[in-house]
């Protein structure tokens, strides 16, 4: 793949890592289909941007034929499952399709938020909270006390003391789950709930599949929410039209025939999109890069068993990965050495984020299980060797590593940003547009094949291949299990570290946002 450097003067690490990853003769398609890609250099030659983009193109074609969506429980998702399954089978794997039922959520018609009075009246930009109930409500609005006066607005029943029954509750994000806020509002007699962001950017959240109240719950930006909260005599109309019901959907899993079955390396990406669009960055990017890595590793004989996973119903609250981890008995969980997660790795206005296994970013979520810090260092070593800046992002539990961390399994992975806003400092380091979302099409109909940054996807596809092969051969740095000496644990240098890379707060990880 192209070895594009993202800033001048970057220093490439020396020594064994450089020799392992350094440039070599480009392999042709025939060579890649016939040889064993059992070194980092050979595998990187064969996991190409063109190969990854071909998988994304296939996912786009599936969405095009299925109402522009690949949401779990829909025909578009089922066809995505079949595409991944058949591709793995053609490469020589024996994939398993794991079915499960869950409460699906589908938006049946457009969500509406209108200011009825005072003037100026008219539509207000709005997003629906996943698993919202249905309703068409016109009512006065009561705004709860926002932060900092109340750091957890709507999280306690006392926050609704004196709430006028039948009013619409307007609540800031912060302090507890959206479902908790909505449940408390409903108990106080609210007819609908509008939650506004507590930071810049669009808020796309979920109430999670267990939310069953028939209550309209929507979200707006921070600016809109603050304006509404400051409007005297406000009357809003909120309309939601949704379906919540049981559906069957699937995870796809495939593992290497060989390798130590008592020391399993797992790598996963969610396969589903949201209702609103085809999901080609979220998460066709992680899906495609992991699929191409698996295809190009099909002839490799790893020391440790490698298990690849494509998760269903992630956008409904990590349902597929949660059900998978819950299905494992203690012995099976103990056999998993580590989990690698790849969710949104080609964002158009990207930053190269690495999940913060050791909590050195200090943003409050805490470190991952023992071994997670070493996974972080492995990705940092890859970027350092390329002379590419990187930056930590918090383990908030809002992507499919969450259930693995909860089970005590060391975890790590990559991310290039979702609805978070790129800072001027980040734009100076990685290019792109300061003040704009990392992915302006996050959870939108425009998350299509065109919604992509080739450099980010190219580099991260190599990074994914590097980490999967590295840990397939040697997990000694994570759990002490010895592996191949020529795959010794790698160490990062400071060459690729962003000048502000270990500072700063929470970066907007791909959020289902069941938590505010």
Residue 2 lies in a domain: no
Residue 360 lies in a domain: yes
Residue 419 lies in a domain: yes
Residue 493 lies in a domain: no
Tell me, yes or no, whether 215 and 349 share the same domain: no
Question: Model's pTM, two decimal places?
Answer: 0.79
Q: How many domains does the chain have?
A: 2
Rg (CA), the chain: 23
Tell me, yes or no, whether 170 and 255 share the same domain: no
Tell me, yes or no, whether 253 and 328 share the same domain: yes
Tell me, yes or no, whether 155 and 193 share the same domain: yes
Tell me, yes or no, whether 227 and 306 share the same domain: no
- Nearest Cα residue to 464 out of 272, 291, 280: 291
Q: Which position among 45, 314, 380, 509 bears the catalytic label?
A: 314
Q: What CATH number is given to the structural domain containing 205? A: 3.50.30.30
Tell me, yes or no, whether 236 and 299 share the same domain: no
Distance CA 42, CA 48 (A): 11
pLDDT of residue 137: 98
Tell me, yes or no, whether 123 and 140 share the same domain: yes
Tell me, yes or no, whether 317 and 331 share the same domain: yes
Q: Active-site residue 515, yes or no?
A: no
For the stretch 206-244, pLDDT in tens is: 898 899 999 999 999 999 999 999 999 999 999 999 999
pLDDT of residue 274: 92
Residue 427 lies in a domain: yes
Tell me, yes or no, whether 86 and 29 share the same domain: yes
* Region at 44 (left for phi over 0; alpha for psi -120 to 50; beta for the rest): alpha
How far out from the chain centre does Cα 107 lie? 21
Distance CA 300, CA 280 (A): 28
Tell me, yes or no, whether 397 and 443 share the same domain: yes
Q: What CATH number is given to the structural domain containing 45? A: 3.40.630.10
Task: State the residue for tokens 């580590």.
Answer: 338
- Nearest Cα residue to 217 out of 173, 264, 258: 173
Tell me, yes or no, whether 422 and 283 share the same domain: yes
Distance CA 208, CA 322 (A): 13
pLDDT of residue 305: 98
Regions in the chain scoring below 50 on pLDDT = 1-26, 499-513, 516
Q: Could you list the residue range(s) of the whole structural domain that residue 215 is in?
A: 109-240
Residue 355 lies in a domain: yes
Tell me, yes or no, whether 201 and 317 share the same domain: no
Q: Which tokens in the block code for residue 404?
A: 């693995």
Distance CA 199, CA 210 (A): 27
């Amino acid at each position: 793949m192209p070895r594009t450097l993202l800033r001048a003067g970057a220093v490439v690490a020396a020594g064994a890592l450089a020799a392992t990853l350094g440039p070599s003769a480009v392999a042709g398609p025939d060579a890649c289909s016939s040889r064993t890609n059992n070194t980092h250099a050979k595998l990187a030659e064969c996991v190409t941007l063109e190969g990854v983009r071909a998988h994304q193109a296939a996912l786009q074609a599936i969405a095009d034929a299925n109402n522009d969506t690949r949401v779990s429980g829909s025909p578009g998702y089922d066809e995505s499952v079949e595409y991944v399954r058949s591709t793995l089978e053609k490469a020589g794997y024996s994939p398993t399709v794991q079915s499960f039922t869950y409460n699906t959520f589908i938006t049946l018609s457009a969500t509406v938020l209108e200011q009825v009075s005072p003037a100026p009246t008219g539509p207000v930009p709005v997003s629906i909270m996943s698993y919202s109930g249905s309703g068409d409500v016109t009512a006065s609005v009561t705004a709860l006390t926002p932060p900092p006066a109340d750091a957890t607005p709507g999280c306690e029943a006392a926050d609704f003391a004196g709430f006028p029954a039948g009013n619409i509750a307007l609540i800031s994000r912060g302090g507890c789950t959206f479902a908790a806020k909505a449940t408390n509002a409903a108990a106080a007699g609210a007819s609908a709930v509008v939650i506004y962001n507590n930071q810049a950017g669009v808020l796309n959240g979920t109430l999670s599949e267990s939310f069953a109240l028939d209550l309209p719950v929507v979200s707006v930006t921070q600016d809109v929410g603050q304006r509404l909260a400051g409007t005297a005599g406000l009357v809003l109309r909120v309309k939601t039209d949704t379906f919540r019901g049981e559906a069957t959907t699937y995870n796809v899993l495939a593992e290497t025939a060989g390798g130590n079955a008592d020391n399993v390396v797992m790598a996963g990406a969610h396969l589903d999109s949201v209702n609103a669009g085809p999901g080609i960055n979220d998460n066709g990017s992680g899906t495609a890069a992991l699929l191409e890595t698996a295809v190009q590793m099909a002839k490799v004989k790893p020391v440790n068993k490698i298990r690849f996973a494509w998760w269903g119903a992630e956008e409904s609250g990590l349902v597929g990965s949660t059900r998978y981890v819950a299905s494992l008995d203690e012995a099976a969980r103990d056999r998993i050495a580590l989990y690698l997660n790849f969710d949104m790795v080609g964002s158009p206005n990207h930053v190269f984020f690495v999940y913060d296994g050791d909590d050195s970013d200090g943003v409050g979520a805490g470190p991952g299980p023992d071994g997670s810090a070493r996974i972080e260092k492995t990705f940092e070593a890859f970027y350092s060797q390329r002379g590419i800046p990187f930056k930590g992002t918090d383990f908030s539990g809002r992507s499919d590593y969450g259930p693995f961390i909860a089970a005590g399994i060391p975890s790590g992975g990559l991310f290039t940003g979702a609805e978070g806003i790129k800072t001027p400092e980040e734009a100076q380091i990685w290019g792109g547009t300061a003040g704009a979302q990392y992915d302006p099409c996050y959870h939108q109909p425009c998350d299509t094949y065109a919604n992509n940054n080739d450099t980010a996807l190219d580099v991260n596809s190599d990074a994914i291949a590097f980490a999967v092969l590295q840990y397939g051969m040697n997990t000694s740095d994570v759990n002490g299990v010895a592996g191949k000496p020529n795959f010794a644990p790698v160490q990062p240098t400071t060459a690729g570290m962003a000048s502000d890379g270990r500072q700063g707060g929470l970066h907007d990880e791909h959020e289902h946002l069941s938590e505010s």
